[in-house]
Structure 1
């Protein structure tokens, strides 16, 4: 009997898997996949729950993979919800609950598609891999990265992969992601000399130096965009010195800056750019500015080609819409998968993810399963 992706979504949403809790979601999926003949392995690392499942022989002629997560962000104010956040109630054409959109419906769709595909039309010399992490909404260091590290050690490999994150802004089928911008955060601390505001010549104001630096960072665009990416962006997210007094020049000041960058840059090149600006401001002001950079992902692109064309054609066949090839949005675990194999992202409409009353249109879940199953059929044809 075919796996019902709507019922599977219901079952998954009822698992309270707020990062880092597993909540029963991976146990549920492991049981379902094992019954269908998948060899399942829990790849937990540092308390983070992860699941790897393969149907077919290791090292088969062709191997197609899926990646996603069952962990969810916190509910927030439960009283603000009109439905139980973990009740998975179906009402008004929607399935309501935390993770309904991001991304338990996507996981349910690709798990159901993978099981039905290998049950109904098993490939003769192929393998299907399903990976699910419980750490996408957290730091991400022990989630998909842990699975990929384990796969490398064990000689497991995917030739191509779909990440099932929500990708469509408003209409099912309108957009797929063929890349993502990179992200680097600059944590800045300026060390000056404290003093009386009426005698600035006896002090060295770290705020003046920090403001000068931030002005230079934001004075001009980082670039004008590239063939597949919009212009890179840079945003100051916080400035603070913790000074309660109006007549005291503080000794220290801190700021945080985040940039989302395209393929005109790398994390390393932007760090070097920031260091150059810092050196100039230090020389002018005598204030010492320390930089702690944190690169959470490099920019990547899966160029239009066989995998992109395959997924786009499957989406069009099932929805009647040719998806836009986009690199918009934040980061996803595709930033890790791209170091392993070619990867694209396609999923449902993501308008309510992370919000109160998160919900997914029930009539989109089965078509998503159909798209994933069509991809598998065409890939192994």
Structure 2
């Protein structure tokens, strides 16, 4: 490290990022629509106060009642590029409390790790981004352009927060974005796409002793699922294993019959439903994949006059890919080398992130942050403190490299 870098990184405060992470964990932000306060509002208001105390320009924008986005700006006052850091406020459910050794909302420290829901995904990395901007502000290091902290709700759901952020024009003119997610500080330059589909086969209710008086939607769904498995195998053979993302997949996740009403062992249901969680890799066209599923339904209908199925596309998130030569990738790679003295490890994100929609809005993205990438959504979720501090340092120098 040069003297200049060292003089800037001395403002990275380990205690700040640790205590901010713990504070964020302790404010529950699981979305529970049937529970009063079961949303991101409390944690968002805490963040607003924290950012105002730092001296940033802060905006609080409600996406839907109780589910706000927080946006903060650190502006150099000089013309230049815009860098965005993105980290969401919502976390997934803690699940069965008996499966936890630590209080999921306690922010406890043990063996140099912070435990709790969101420690890894992604309150630790949100705290790292905030701490990085604070370090830059305290250092007084000169830069051009501005930094935007994008802190949206609902990343774990339908991503309404980032969609609203983009719809309001905040992404306009952003030159690069760092998506703050747990990736062991690896540089993720690609991520899988996601298609969510609800399939229903339609039959006719009947007595289980006299099934021929009805139409069984379950056997029709079974044929459809077998065809979908064959489509997945065909796509795997066509594309091979992606070096960062692995294999594409077509996964039936929920299987339910009847769709409405109470199931009974001696009753043929009127409907059967399955949901598909389809994960795509570069080289797959989502419209083409959907048409292939529709073609399967059409073919099965021709073979069986009693086969009737409907397809409802409920979400479409394309895969993303950012070239290694893109400036945002280059500056983060440079920061990684400056902090660690090593070359970065490149990888891909196995799922979608809010960066998916920033990419669609024309913003080059790179995903990186602290945390074991296999720990999110597990019981006893944690983040290593030393790795988290390293993340703050990488974020800090990435901003300076980008906005020099």
Normalised by the size of structure 1, how large is the TM-score? Answer: 0.88
1:140, CA displacement in angstroms? Answer: 1.7
* 1:311 aligned onto 2:332: yes
Partner residue of 1:282 out of 298, 301, 306: 301
1:96, CA displacement in angstroms? Answer: 1.8
* 1:112 aligned onto 2:131: yes
Find the aligned partners of 2:178 and 2:344 in 1 and give their Cα distance.
Answer: 15
The residue number in structure 1 matching 2:313 is: 293
Equivalent runs, 1:311-350 vs 2, <5 Å: 311-340=332-361, 341-350=363-372
Partner residue of 1:217 out of 209, 222, 228: 228
Find the aligned partners of 2:52 and 2:384 in 1 and give their Cα distance.
Answer: 29
Query: Would you say the 8 A contact 1:181–1:261 is kept in 2?
Result: yes
Is the partner of 1:236 in helix, strand or coil? strand
Equivalent runs, 1:60-99 vs 2, <5 Å: 60-99=79-118
Partner residue of 1:190 out of 201, 221, 238: 201
Find the aligned partners of 2:279 and 2:74 in 1 and give their Cα distance.
Answer: 37
1:292, CA displacement in angstroms? Answer: 0.9
Find the aligned partners of 2:274 and 2:22 in 1 and give their Cα distance.
Answer: 43
* CA 121–376 in structure 1, closer or farther in 2 if over 3 Å, else same: farther
The residue number in structure 2 matching 1:241 is: 257
* 1:356 aligned onto 2:374: no
CA RMSD of aligned residues (A): 2.5
1:73, CA displacement in angstroms? Answer: 1.7
* 1:132 aligned onto 2:151: yes
1:369, CA displacement in angstroms? Answer: 0.4
* CA 88–194 in structure 1, closer or farther in 2 if over 3 Å, else same: closer
The residue number in structure 1 matching 2:121 is: 102
1:301, CA displacement in angstroms? Answer: 0.8
Gaps of 5+ in 2: 1-10, 32-37
Superposed CA offset, 1:86-132 (max 9, x none): 22222221112221111111011111111221332444531111011
Find the aligned partners of 1:236 and 1:349 in 2 and give their Cα distance.
Answer: 29
Normalised by the size of structure 2, how large is the TM-score? Answer: 0.84
Superposed CA offset, 1:134-168 (max 9, x none): 32123322x1211222235xx85321010110012
* CA 208–46 in structure 1, closer or farther in 2 if over 3 Å, else same: same
The residue number in structure 1 matching 2:388 is: 365
The residue number in structure 2 matching 1:148 is: 166
* CA 103–191 in structure 1, closer or farther in 2 if over 3 Å, else same: same
Gaps of 5+ in 1: none
Structure 1 window deviating more from structure 2 (111-120 vs 319-328): it is 319-328
Structure 1 window deviating more from structure 2 (285-294 vs 367-376): it is 285-294
Find the aligned partners of 2:214 and 2:23 in 1 and give their Cα distance.
Answer: 63
1:314, CA displacement in angstroms? Answer: 1.8
Is the partner of 1:338 in helix, strand or coil? helix
Is the partner of 2:49 in helix, strand or coil? helix
Query: Would you say the 8 A contact 2:80–2:403 is kept in 1?
Result: no
How many residue pairs get aligned? The number is 372
Equivalent runs, 1:27-46 vs 2, <5 Å: 27-46=45-64
Find the aligned partners of 1:90 and 1:205 in 2 and give their Cα distance.
Answer: 55
Is the partner of 1:367 in helix, strand or coil? helix
Find the aligned partners of 2:39 and 2:213 in 1 and give their Cα distance.
Answer: 54
1:368, CA displacement in angstroms? Answer: 0.8
Is the partner of 2:159 in helix, strand or coil? coil
Structure 1 window deviating more from structure 2 (341-350 vs 132-141): it is 132-141
1:227, CA displacement in angstroms? Answer: 7.1
Query: Would you say the 8 A contact 1:26–1:51 is kept in 2?
Result: yes
Is the partner of 1:376 in helix, strand or coil? helix
1:24, CA displacement in angstroms? Answer: 3.4
